[in-house]
Homo-oligomer: A and B are copies of this chain.
Amino acid sequence: MPVLAKIRALSNETRFEIVKLVRDRELEAGAVARRFKISRPAVSQHLGVLREAGLLRERRVGSKRLYVVRAEAFDELLEFIEGYWSPRLQRLKSAAEAIERDKVKK
């Protein structure tokens, strides 16, 4: 799943909270839903979006469905931002050094 899809999935406040909820423990769909004031189906749909984006893993146990964050997804997100950002930082660093050199020349 592309990074933008993950960002989009995280951009909704309810989904953002859901991710926090299942960040370090599996939780069944119903338990997640009970934490919010919106309807259970609405939460179910949010869980679907998060799963589709690759942010959550779903596991079925009997009639229950357990959700938990996919660690790899977050690592991927982190790597993306780092990789996206560090080239810029290097360029800025080079620019700063160039300015320093100019100052010395003056």
Contact = CB atoms under 8 A, between A and B. Distances in A.
A85 B81 contact: no
Nearest to A3: B16
A13 B92 CA distance: 26
Interface in A1-57: 4, 7-8, 10-11, 13, 16, 23-24
Query: Do most interface residues of chain A lie in helix, strand or loop, or is the interface mixed?
Result: helix
Contact of A81 (B24, B78, B87): B78
Interface of A: 4, 7-8, 10-11, 13, 16, 23-24, 69, 71, 74-75, 77-78, 81-82, 84-85, 87-89, 91-92
Contacts of A4: 11, 13, 16
